[in-house]
Structure 1
Amino acid sequence: MARVAEVRHSAAAVLEHWGAGDDLCATAPLVVSELVTNSVVHAASSPDVCVLVEYADGVHIAVRDTGRGLPAPRSAASGDAECGRGLTLVAALSTAWGTTVYGDGSKVVWANLTP
């Protein structure tokens, strides 16, 4: 999971460089971490790309991998479970999120955040 920490820290540095507000600087690295972790754990591959795009009202985060499964939030994670809450958290923190599937079988899971 060292890769997850590396990507999370890189995202935080980019946001700080952009002068993003405190809300985005706190929230975006968490969302990046969740999306990259899902890619590593569930797609059984390292993410090919993690992109942050600044736009007028916030930031767009996109993580691409080659896993075939489509992500979906779990509705009934056990209170003691160590996993299963990532996409629920992403959905709660983002203004929109989703998945785009490409013809080569790869997919991008993305989230939009606004302050």
Structure 2
Amino acid sequence: MRILVVDDEESILVPLEFLLKKAGHQVVLARTGEEALEALSRGTFDLMVLDLMLPGMDGFAVLERAKALSQRPKVLVLTARGREADRAKALALGAEAFMAKPFGIQDLLSQVEELAGGR
């Protein structure tokens, strides 16, 4: 699976990249919402792991803009914003799954595999 990971925290990006590559996935990293949309416009992804709290354009705006893409990937929101209202908004904007930080590595990998199975 080709996965776009969008997060501005190196302490999240680096381990996620390592874990997802170890699980056999291709991984592309983006640190801002703008970088994420640029990556989405240049290539096709099966999954986007998206933080909501990004510098500049937030994850909600990325979700909104990604809806217009003909080849929009599935979206797993992975964020420290774990309130019910944030979850509801993300799912309403088209995210398939929502996980709050901190998260368990095995839980994340299981969620990625579950989303991959639906493709």
TM-score (ref. length: structure 2): 0.30
Decide which structure has greater helix share.
2
TM-score, structure 1 normalization? 0.31
Structure with larger Rg: 1
Instruction: Indicate the structure with greater strand content.
Output: 1
